[in-house]
Amino acid sequence: MAVALSLALVAAACGKSSDKETTSGQTGGDQGKPVVGGNLVDYQNFAAGDVPHIDPGLAEEIEGSQVAILLFDGLADYDAKTGDLKPAVAESWSSNADASTWTFKLRKDVKWTDGSTVLPSDFKYAWERVASKQLASITAFHITDTLRIKGAADVAAGKATEMSGLKADDTAMTLTMELEAPLGFAPAVTAHAALSPVPKKVVSALPDSTKWEQGLMVSNGPFKLAEPRKADQYVKLVRNDTYYGGIYGHKAYLDGIEFRMSKDQDSAWAAFEAGQGQTGRIPPARFADAKAKYQGRTSTDTTINGIYYYVFNNKDAVVGGPANAKLRQAISLTIDREKIARDIYNGSRKPATGVAMPGIPGFKQGLGQYATRDVTKAKQLVTEWETASGKKVADLPAIKLNFGLGAGHSEIATIIQANLQEIGVKSQLDPREAKTYFSQMRAGQGQFLRAGWIADYNAYDNQLFPLLHSSQIGGAGSNHAQYASAKFDGLIDQARRASDLSKANGFYQDAERVALNEDTIMVPIVWYSGAIAFGDQIHNAVQGALQFVAYEDMWMGSK
């Protein structure tokens, strides 16, 4: 019964989202027999330039993670078409009655590209490497804070090299993890690139494993590196002919993929339109035209589980704290999300009414009481704030709108600035260098700051915990709001302990209401949609809700 219950919880928490996710990015459906061969030139993944990492333990951006998941298979993976969580290197998993201990049974036919077998000890070594102080991975929170494997905190602090709660039995081909607290969606976390295995014998022999990605990484996914990555130029992959088949049950059809790196989206799009590649990322200004021109060959109707948002620095004297809640509510009410979606994104993104988006299990429409524009009500709240505080909004210093340079953030901030003028709130654009922006925001240097989030896995928790839980303040955490609410944290903790999915989702919804309404610490702006166009020789091309493209399941054929 314990096994059946735990599997049911996982299936419910991270199961089908096909009713919410479309597959319009699928070109030509499944028409015809798959064709093996062809080299795809990709201009969409690195349309905005290179990223720091493709090592699965270090990659944090979608672009680097896209390469990582093609090179490495973890215990589980998501089907891009259906959103289902499926076993990958693990052939099955089970838990104890309260979902605090999980055991994964590994397949015996999964090989590294050097011919050796992928073992449970490779996973154990990889996870401890990610959590280690030496690697300093930003994605380590999946292990230390989300899963909370026993002993992970000691590894992260440099007090230990191994997690006491992680056991690998290479003879029985099992990996067992004991958690600090129950977690019903634990298998979904293992689908993240950060929890991919690495070949222990290879990586442990390196003098510095942080530089592993600079060479030819030994991998176990549908593709392998053709040559070391050329920074700011390209990443070349070739089919892994020893691949066991993964969740789609076959080796990759493509002979290879060349991910080309562009200086900006416009130049990448120009190269795609000139026929230099088979995939391109649609710039927002070209969205409507591209959707019509490449009808049936885009992912533009695909719901991406991602959000563009602003948050207030809760420690800031002007906008933070309980005394300024009505001011924050007024600001949120004033923002014209419809105009941003229409004028900046050309309809390619939708106005957001909450933190969780429609593709997340447990999503509920309209949780954000202050996420729909109402200037009249905003002015009333300003008056109430002035009466209660004894201050005048006209006397406030200009509120800084913090954002990283590029990607249209300045244009959005300009709209917000004009909106705030309508209620008498002065603001100042504060653009910062993109490469250091988020490290500054993590350090609490923001005031009213822009951020974005793509779901790591299809779980409600992942939309709230990393962004707003107090444990995620500072360090590598993503709680840029410096938000510490005992009520919010308590609801998240209750949701994680709940054995029933509907109860868990109820707690998550209540936590979202606290952040959006009672405290109004987060201001949703727009939800993401797919923005990829595919050449007419590409078949079965699908972008999933987590933004990744299933390159291993597509093929090249006649136009």
pLDDT digits (tens, 9 = 90+) for 229-261: 999 999 999 999 999 999 999 999 999 999 999
Give yes or no for a contact between 86 and 77, defined as CB atoms under 8 angstroms apart: yes
Has residue 16 got a pLDDT over 50?
no
Taking only the tens place, the pLDDT of each residue in 173-231 is 999 999 999 998 999 999 999 999 999 999 999 999 999 999 999 999 999 999 999 99
Average pLDDT over residues 101-117: 98
Average pLDDT over residues 540-551: 95
Kindly state whether residues 113 and 238 are assigned to the same domain: yes
Does residue 13 lie within any of the structural domains?
A: yes
Burial 237-246 (b: 16+ CB within 10 A, else e): bbbbeebbeb
Question: Which CATH number is 359's domain given?
Answer: 3.10.105.10
Q: Are strands 399-404 and 427-432 parallel, antiparallel or unpaired?
A: parallel
Does residue 295 lie within any of the structural domains?
A: no
Instruction: Give the residue among 26, 172, 10, 2 at the shortest CA–CA distance from 544.
Output: 26
Instruction: Give the residue among 540, 435, 373 at the shortest CA–CA distance from 23.
Output: 540
Kindly state whether residues 539 and 434 are assigned to the same domain: no
Distances (CA, A) of 84 to 19, 177, 194, 345: 12, 23, 19, 29
Taking only the tens place, the pLDDT of each residue in 482-495 is 999 999 999 999 99
Has residue 22 got a pLDDT over 70?
no
Structure tokens given for 234: 């390209």
Kindly state whether residues 346 and 270 are assigned to the same domain: no
Has residue 109 got a pLDDT over 90?
yes
Kindly state whether residues 517 and 535 are assigned to the same domain: no
Has residue 5 got a pLDDT over 90?
no
Taking only the tens place, the pLDDT of each residue in 335-358 is 999 999 999 988 889 999 999 998
Does residue 91 lie within any of the structural domains?
A: yes
Q: Specify the pLDDT at position 31.
A: 55
Kindly state whether residues 442 and 545 are assigned to the same domain: no
Kindly state whether residues 318 and 379 are assigned to the same domain: yes
Does residue 288 lie within any of the structural domains?
A: no
Which pLDDT band holds residue 475 (cuts at 50, 70, 90)? confident
Other C-beta atoms within 10 Å of 477: how many? 18
Kindly state whether residues 502 and 552 are assigned to the same domain: no
Question: At 535, which amino acid appears?
Answer: G
Kindly state whether residues 519 and 423 are assigned to the same domain: yes
Mean pLDDT of the chain: 92
Q: Specify the pLDDT at position 559.
A: 67
Q: Are strands 90-95 and 85-87 parallel, antiparallel or unpaired?
A: unpaired
Give yes or no for a contact between 451 and 368, defined as CB atoms under 8 angstroms apart: no
Kindly state whether residues 237 and 308 are assigned to the same domain: no
Has residue 168 got a pLDDT over 60?
yes
Instruction: Give the residue among 122, 515, 109 at the shortest CA–CA distance from 325.
Output: 515
pTM for the predicted model, two decimal places: 0.85
Kindly state whether residues 466 and 543 are assigned to the same domain: no
Question: At 553, which amino acid appears?
Answer: D
Give yes or no for a contact between 282 and 301, defined as CB atoms under 8 angstroms apart: no
Structural domain harbouring 175: 2-283+531-556
Percent of all residues in the chain with a pLDDT value above 90, rounded to a whole number: 83
Does residue 296 lie within any of the structural domains?
A: no
Kindly state whether residues 7 and 139 are assigned to the same domain: yes
- DSSP secondary structure, 162-190, as one string: S-TTEEEETTTTEEEEEBSS--TTHHHHT
Q: Specify the pLDDT at position 11.
A: 36
Give yes or no for a contact between 62 and 304, defined as CB atoms under 8 angstroms apart: no
Structure tokens given for 555: 């093929």
Domains identified in the chain, total number: 2
Kindly state whether residues 381 and 499 are assigned to the same domain: yes
